[in-house]
Amino acid sequence: MAHVTSTKIKSGIIEIEFFHEAQNSLPSDILKQLAEHILDAGSMTEVLIIILKSGGERTFCAGASFTELISIQEFDAGQQFFSGFAHVINAIRTCGKIVIGRVQGKAIGGGVGLAAAVDYCFATQQASVKLSELAVGIGPFVVGPAVQRKVGLSAFSQMTINATELYSANWAREKGLFADVFETIEEMDTAVYSLADKLNSSNPEALKLLKGIFWEGTDHWDKLLFERAGLSGKLVLSDFTKNALAKFAAKP
């Protein structure tokens, strides 16, 4: 069953997990819950560290729900759907807590956006990345600022333009998306929880101040990301995108 859950694994550390049976894709209800869980954790004075993860062992996140994309028939619905990604990114940005990402497998589209939005991200060798939006006639407009902020304009442009290419986890590490890459999930988890423990013993005020510094210059994202959601909401209604989505849906 699709879900978002929050689990306090010890004092000061909370783990937020999302899961969807379709390769951890993100429909609007999961996006809404994810943003709410992150903001709730941010409001807890006793919490210093958030670990963001997905369920399963294969795909971290396949991006936007394909089923929901196909169903969009009007601009407002499209803008609202893509705004779900804006809400999650802005929740990570403004929650006031250090967010550690745990990427166990492929990250596609919006999944790359999640990996880019966290403050520190670990991955496995299986965590190849792809910004696939242009292949279906839209673009990574909402997640783009988060991705570009982390990997730079050159790497972001490369991923955006070559939208059918999977880039390796090592490539993503070289570009700054991942802090470290491990052979196994077990090795990655050891690093995730070790770092969380170290940060949990740090000065809470220092962590809060550092979070603000990490995100300097992004206050305008409250407006920018929702404007970008409008671009995607318009394009998803185009004949080009509808035809592209139909072709993908027809594949065996």
CATH number where 11 lies: 3.90.226.10
In the structure, what pLDDT confidence band is assigned to residue 247 with cuts at 50, 70 and 90? Answer: confident
pLDDT at 117: 98
Domains: count for the chain: 1
pLDDT tens digits for range 144-180: 999 999 999 999 999 999 999 999 999 999 999 999 9
pLDDT tens digits for range 205-236: 999 999 999 999 999 999 999 999 999 999 99
Q: Is residue 212 part of a domain?
A: no
In the structure, what pLDDT confidence band is assigned to residue 252 with cuts at 50, 70 and 90? Answer: low
> How far is residue 5 from each of residues 42, 83, 208, measured CA to CA in Å?
15, 21, 24
pLDDT tens digits for range 180-211: 999 999 999 999 999 999 999 999 999 999 99
Long-range CB contact pairs, 104-107, < 8 A, 24+: 104/53, 104/54, 104/56, 104/57, 104/58, 104/60, 104/185, 104/188, 105/56, 105/57, 105/58, 105/59, 105/60, 106/23, 106/58, 106/59, 106/60, 106/62, 106/130, 106/166, 107/60, 107/61
Q: Is residue 196 part of a domain?
A: no
Domain that holds residue 109: 3-184
Q: Is residue 216 part of a domain?
A: no
Q: Is residue 211 part of a domain?
A: no
pLDDT at 127: 98
> How far is residue 58 from each of residues 23, 67, 120, measured CA to CA in Å?
8, 20, 21
Q: Is residue 214 part of a domain?
A: no
Query: Crossing angle, helix 144-151 and helix 110-117, to 10 degrees?
Result: 50
Q: Is residue 98 part of a domain?
A: yes
In the structure, what pLDDT confidence band is assigned to residue 40 with cuts at 50, 70 and 90? Answer: very high
Q: Is residue 91 part of a domain?
A: yes
pTM attached to this predicted model: 0.96
Q: Is residue 178 part of a domain?
A: yes
